[in-house]
Chain A
Amino acid sequence: MPGAPLTEAERARAFALPKKPAVIERQRLAVRYHVEDFDVRDRPRRFLEAFAAILKHTNYRVALDHYARISTKCARCAVKCQIHEATGDDRDIPCWRSELLLAVYRRHFTISGILRGRILGDPGLTDETVAEMADTFYDCTACRRCHFECPMGVDHGLVTHLGRYVLSEIGIVPRALAVSTREQLLGASGNTSAIPVPALLDSLEFLSEEMQDEKHIAIPFPVDQEGAEYLFLPAVSDFIMEADSLMGIAAVFRATGDSWTIGTGYFDGINYGLFYSDQVLEHVLRKVRAEAERLKVKKILIGECGHASRSAKHFYPMFCGGAEALPVLNIMEYTHRAWREGRLRLNPDVVTERVTYHDPCNVARPGWIVEQPRELLKAFCRNYVEMTPNRRDNICCGGGGGTVSIDEIRPYRTAIGGRVKADQIRTTGAEYCVAPCANCKKQLRELMEDQGMDCKIVGLHDLIYKALVLD
């Protein structure tokens, strides 16, 4: 599977800093992503204060304590990391990256570290290390594939998440994520793509008309239906970018007849908190809860999006009522169940091209959604092929962990992050690659473009829309 080594030209392109030297000088932060200006004074001290506050109020300490004690540095994670495979750079070894934060923890938050620091005169965290963390924690796609190969059970994805969280509390966070979050939580539109409600309604009306033309049947997008079974939350960008996925989902509901609704009070499944801040994660989920309560729905249904699904499925019960919280499910689960119950008819003669399936990390890695989309695809795609490796051991698209939203690092994502993925897709010879995740779709389309490949990247419901027989 490994491709050719990275050429000098590719490396130069992928790692070129798109920021102006003057900005780097002012922010003292030579990272590839853009950040807005922030307070650069006394950065190590402020990093430690933020770290201390986070350790005090959260559950990370037990993991850091454990990982700091038992990590055996066996380098098995390096073998499994697609970033390291692409660059061959020691700094891309997951264990190397995690050690940056673990070393700070040991030195400043354990008795032996503090004593050793005093005795040996170790000054502790430096500005250079903060800058190094700022850079390297956003080189990782947080795909957590390495976690499955660590005999000691170290979860480098958790450490990356925490490292980014601490950095964000001192102002170091990719501007793309910060601006979207601010719009979602404080802006007038209340969503990450800044789509106003009238534009949403226009878009839904247009899609309904499209379906009327194509399928000759009325397929509605219910809006603000109080008491509906499902509150539907896709990645909000789908309303602009993924018309076919949305039409497929609406068509599935037309076929099953179940009640669902899109809420105009809140209609964004995206949750960048998963990538850099627990506070953002919780505040976004509170908006979901408020909308679910307003519309008195029974379940929360997330669209084709890996991180949106995981952040709701895994964290909604934690922040919104524990055992009493509304159930969360992904649209693929819903469609799969409807198909198993015989409520969907899929025509096997429509999609004749070779089709492969890309597992989004956030839904496949926990083993949550692995077989459901495969069973659906095999039911109507005659020429279905698997990528290798696949399922829980899948290769990340290369834009995970929020990096896909950072446009200025596209060369890095397509030359480094997605390099192994491109080889994997190329090997299948597929014409369609089904990637049921908004992040993966964007990344893989850019990857195909930059790598000169012509495989079409689609959602699961794009193909279902083609094959679904509606009466």
Chain B
Amino acid sequence: MEAWIVFARGPLFRLCFSIMVLGLARVLWLTGIGIIEAYGRSDDRALAYREIFRQTLGWALPVGRAGRARPLYSLTSVLFHLGLLLVPLLLQAHVRLWQSVIGIAWPVLPAAAADGLTLLMLVTAVGLFAGRLADRRSRAISRLQDYVWPLLLAVPFVSGFACANLTLAPLTYQAGMLLHLLSADAVMFLLPFTKITHCVLQPLSQLVTAVAWKFVPEAGDRVAATLGFADRPSWAERSRLGGPHS
């Protein structure tokens, strides 16, 4: 068991962490390139920077706007994210672990605050799962990953909380710690391939949308030419706007 723990917090952690960082860097890079290319193709360089910034900041800290739609679910989500982000980054044991990997340390949360945030995260994770399940509209559009993620994210929090706060038999403690490490590793491994990429991509959403609305001069003609309508505009072709097909 001990060897597994060493493996899970050593090589496996480094592998999963690297996959997470590289995976997120990849999607960030691709999106960044996409934005630059799209912007470069348009003749109109005007962007509503103030509005983009205002909306981006507004959704990064959605205090005022979360309650405008599905208020209970949205508030649950905000609190969930609070625990989810702060505990892994600011728990004392984690900071030591980060320090051993990347060599940098930073201020830590008091243990009581970390425990409180952990419990908050666990309650809200269950709340998000239940909220999704209970709402017909959510159920209609949800995929498997939408149900799995809150529960998967709760596993390292439950096991970590148990190991840190409960008096456990040594073997149980080790099993709990292994579960904690493996689930955290799994989260990091899966993260860049799922919707959780929003942790880095969400701040770019408003800009992405703004540049996507920047249409490219003569793109419509080129689309028509590619489809074999080079000699005439596509809207002139009755079989494409309607009319008896040839």
The yes or no answer to B172 lying at the interface (CB within 8 A) is no
Residues of chain B contacted by A39 (CB below 8 angstroms) = 239, 245-246
A348-B8 Cα distance, complex, nearest whole Å = 78
A151-B219 Cα distance, complex, nearest whole Å = 31
Interface segment, one of A257-265, A274-282, A352-360: A274-282
The yes or no answer to B242 lying at the interface (CB within 8 A) is yes
What sequence of 0s and 1s flags, for each residue 162-190 of chain A, a beta carbon within 8 Å of any chain B beta carbon?
00000011110101001001100110000
Residues of chain B contacted by A155 (CB below 8 angstroms) = 209, 212-213
The yes or no answer to A445 lying at the interface (CB within 8 A) is no
A281-B215 Cα distance, complex, nearest whole Å = 10
A58-B215 Cα distance, complex, nearest whole Å = 7
A64 to chain B, nearest CB (A): 8
With A73-B143, A152-B202 as given contacts, are A318 and B227 in contact (CB-CB < 8 Å)? no
Within 8 A of B (CB), among A68-105: 69-80, 84, 90, 93, 95-96, 99
Within 8 A of B (CB), among A45-73: 49-50, 53-54, 56-63, 65-66, 69-73
Which single member of B31, B42, B77, B240 contacts A66 (CB below 8 Å)?
B31
Who on chain A is nearest to B33 by CB?
A62
With A80-B69, A185-B233, A367-B51 as given contacts, are A151 and B38 in contact (CB-CB < 8 Å)? no
Report yes or no: B223 in contact with A38, Cβ–Cβ below 8 A: no
Which single member of A73, A77, A278, A322 contacts B146 (CB below 8 Å)?
A73
Report yes or no: B235 in contact with A185, Cβ–Cβ below 8 A: yes
What's the interface size class on A, roughly?
35 or more
Which of B68, B208, B222, B243 is most buried by chain A, counting CB atoms within 10 A of its CB?
Answer: B208
Report yes or no: A281 in contact with B209, Cβ–Cβ below 8 A: no
Within 8 A of A (CB), among B10-28: 27
The yes or no answer to B94 lying at the interface (CB within 8 A) is no
The yes or no answer to B9 lying at the interface (CB within 8 A) is no
The yes or no answer to A314 lying at the interface (CB within 8 A) is yes
With A37-B243, A62-B34, A73-B138 as given contacts, are A182 and B213 in contact (CB-CB < 8 Å)? no
Which single member of B34, B56, B218, B245 contacts A37 (CB below 8 Å)?
B245
What sequence of 0s and 1s flags, for each residue 400-412 of chain A, a beta carbon within 8 Å of any chain B beta carbon?
0000000000000
What's the interface size class on B, roughly?
35 or more
Residues of chain B contacted by A57 (CB below 8 angstroms) = 216, 219, 222-223, 226
With A56-B226, A69-B27, A318-B214 as given contacts, are A74 and B77 in contact (CB-CB < 8 Å)? yes
Interface segment, one of B96-104, B109-117, B175-183, B193-201: B193-201
Who on chain A is nearest to B240 by CB?
A171
Residues of chain B contacted by A149 (CB below 8 angstroms) = 68-69
Report yes or no: B46 in contact with A75, Cβ–Cβ below 8 A: no
Report yes or no: B195 in contact with A75, Cβ–Cβ below 8 A: no
A283-B138 Cα distance, complex, nearest whole Å = 41
With A153-B59, A318-B214 as given contacts, are A173 and B198 in contact (CB-CB < 8 Å)? no
A269-B110 Cα distance, complex, nearest whole Å = 64
Report yes or no: B42 in contact with A59, Cβ–Cβ below 8 A: yes
What sequence of 0s and 1s flags, for each residue 262-296 of chain A, a beta carbon within 8 Å of any chain B beta carbon?
00000000000000011111110000000000000
The yes or no answer to A339 lying at the interface (CB within 8 A) is no
Total A-B contacts with CB atoms under 8 angstroms apart: 233
Report yes or no: A65 in contact with B31, Cβ–Cβ below 8 A: yes
A149-B73 Cα distance, complex, nearest whole Å = 13
What sequence of 0s and 1s flags, for each residue 430-459 of chain A, a beta carbon within 8 Å of any chain B beta carbon?
000000000000000000000000000000
The yes or no answer to A321 lying at the interface (CB within 8 A) is yes
Residues of chain A contacted by B69 (CB below 8 angstroms) = 76-77, 79-80, 149
Report yes or no: A62 in contact with B37, Cβ–Cβ below 8 A: yes
Which single member of B55, B137, B204, B220 contacts A78 (CB below 8 Å)?
B137
The yes or no answer to B166 lying at the interface (CB within 8 A) is no
A136-B193 Cα distance, complex, nearest whole Å = 29
B193 to chain A, nearest CB (A): 8
Which single member of B37, B198, B213 contacts A70 (CB below 8 Å)?
B198
A222-B60 Cα distance, complex, nearest whole Å = 52
The yes or no answer to B241 lying at the interface (CB within 8 A) is yes
A200-B242 Cα distance, complex, nearest whole Å = 29
A173-B241 Cα distance, complex, nearest whole Å = 6
Which single member of B44, B59, B227, B243 contacts A169 (CB below 8 Å)?
B227
A65-B30, A282-B215, A366-B48 given; name 6 further pairs at CB < 8 Å. A36-B238, A69-B195, A70-B201, A76-B70, A282-B221, A283-B220
Subset of 16 A-B contacts with CB under 8 Å: A38-B242, A59-B41, A62-B208, A76-B70, A151-B77, A152-B198, A153-B209, A154-B205, A171-B239, A181-B241, A185-B233, A281-B220, A283-B233, A319-B215, A322-B43, A323-B45
Which residue numbers of B lie inside 8 Å of A, CB to CB?
A: 27, 30-31, 34-35, 37-38, 41-46, 48, 51, 55-56, 59, 62, 66, 68-70, 73-74, 77, 135-138, 140-143, 146, 193, 195, 197-198, 201-202, 204-206, 208-209, 211-224, 226-227, 233-236, 238-246
